[in-house]
């Protein structure tokens, strides 16, 4: 799944545990401490995971708190779809229109995130 994905250098800054109203899940923080995002082909889709230190700015820039209360974005497919986490710790995909009714929940943890993204695009 991750063989064609180029990870960033490990995160060296102070650990960020919350963006807006969303507490970041422990598995996501652990993953980001090691990889701090990156991008590449994961099978059925291109995936860009944003760096931990960029999450505040990106979520503010896209007004995510206004359009998707209790949700944040953590990445995209580079083609108009965004990936995120809600305040319940569920991972989701949403079109760039940020309509709350267009959210599709993918999984409940980072350990199945890539597989869930591939399953979503394969079965769309």
What string of DSSP letters covers 68-112? STTEEEEEE-SSSEEEEEETTS-EEEEETT--GGG-EEEESSGGG
Tokens standing for 61? 């820039």
88 Cβ contact list (under 8 Å, min separation 6): none
Task: Give the pLDDT of residue 1.
Answer: 78
Given a cut of 90, whether residue 31 has pLDDT beyond it is yes
Tell me, yes or no, whether 69 lies in a domain.
yes
Task: Give the pLDDT of residue 124.
Answer: 82
pLDDT (mean) for 78-99: 96
Task: Give the pLDDT of residue 2.
Answer: 87
Q: Residue 123's domain spans which residues?
A: 1-25+51-101+110-124
Tell me, yes or no, whether 39 lies in a domain.
no
Given a cut of 90, whether residue 43 has pLDDT beyond it is yes
Tell me, yes or no, whether 38 lies in a domain.
no
pTM of the model: 0.95
Tell me, yes or no, whether 36 lies in a domain.
no
């Amino acid at each position: 799944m991750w063989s064609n994905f180029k990870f960033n250098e490990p995160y060296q800054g102070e650990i960020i545990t919350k963006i807006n109203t969303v507490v970041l899940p422990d598995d996501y923080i652990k993953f980001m401490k090691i990889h701090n995002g990156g991008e590449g082909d994961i099978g059925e889709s291109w995936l860009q995971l944003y760096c931990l230190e960029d999450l505040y700015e990106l979520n503010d820039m896209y007004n995510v708190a206004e359009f998707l209360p209790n949700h944040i974005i953590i990445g995209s497919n580079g083609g108009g779809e965004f990936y995120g986490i809600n305040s319940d710790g569920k991972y989701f995909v949403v079109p760039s229109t940020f309509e709350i009714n267009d959210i599709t929940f993918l999984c409940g943890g980072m350990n199945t995130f890539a597989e869930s993204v591939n399953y979503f695009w394969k079965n769309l």
